[in-house]
Structure 1
Amino acid sequence: MPLEFWLLFAPACFAINIYPGPNNILALGNGARFGFGHAFRAALGRLPAFAVMIGLVAVGLGVVLSASETFFTALKWIGAAYLVWLGVKMLRAPVDMSALTAIGRREPVSRLAGREFFVAATNPKAIVTFTAFFPQFLVPGGDYVWQISLMGAAFIVFEAIAIALYAYGGSRVGALAGTANRMRWVNRISGGALVAAGVVLALARRPQPV
């Protein structure tokens, strides 16, 4: 891909990565509750889901999701229900300030990473975004699969940067919260945002063919 394509693709792609979607909200909340390192490692669990989606787009299966009302709707409702469940769980989570320093009392990274993976995998808008976004930067006549793969690799790198920013931001929120009462508000805001994200996902319409 020519340099001018990358100069257009990189900022546009990073804008998508940094958007406060469900996964980034989850990383923010985990950062506030468990600290940067724990939240960052957990949030890496979303990357395999995105990598699989990018692979599907590379072989053209993203078109199936865009065209299939049944598939899109089923995946949408599963993802929406899971986000609402996570949000309610966070709203009701007990506040334990020692979780920020006592590693043994934190939720295991593997469990949090599994949530990150499931949230990413059940969000059909992600693969539809890849299907609609990546082709805008394809060089006509080039190797389609190779170009998608390069853009996908760049997306994963930008996603890791976004993860670090949200996990760090959450950890700073947790540090500034200071008291159990303030941390309850952090949980309420994060949980409420996840519930809202679930509702938005449930109301999402299938993209119409152009």
Structure 2
Amino acid sequence: MQLRRCGTDAVLVEVDSLDEVEAVRAAVAAAGSPDVVELVPAARTVLIVARPGGLPSIRRILAGASLVHHPGTDSTEVVIPVRYDGPDLDLVADTAGLTTAEVVELHTGATYRVAFCGFAPGFAYLTGLPEPLRQPRLPSPRTKVPAGSVAVAGEFTAAYPRATPGGWRLIGRTDAPLFDPCRPTPALLAPGHRVRFEALP
């Protein structure tokens, strides 16, 4: 674990894996310190913003943090209904050597975890994708991916909260309200949440 000072009241924690990112995020969140203003995980880092004078408290929490995460401590689970009719469903099935029904079964049979959010408001990178569905991005990205599209790319799966360009393989779509700026918490998914996908007829 490497710590890098960011301005006067923040520290960037650098680690080696997504699992270690989640371990740091979960440890800091569980500490419930009033000195923590914001906690922002990414692929290999966690940015911790403290209130003025709060960095020593944050450093003490990090000194006692384990880099092993115990997922059983997470309590929030979100179920996202999906119509599996995406334009790349056949491609994903062919690449994996599966039928489309088996792709759906694999995708809905796993429990995912929000590793971090980014790219667009409400866009959550979910880990836990079954190995056969871990496939590369499209050779040429689409200029517009429809809002609600459910997709896979590399080790991640995600749902697009709004229409944006994107190169992920689209396997379905959801009407779940992934991002609503009028809600007290605009994003439906936050780091640490567990997520399951449920197939609609």
TM-score, length-scaled by structure 1 = 0.25
Q: Point out which structure has higher relative CO (alpha carbons under 8 A, 6+ apart).
A: 1
Which is richer in strand? 2
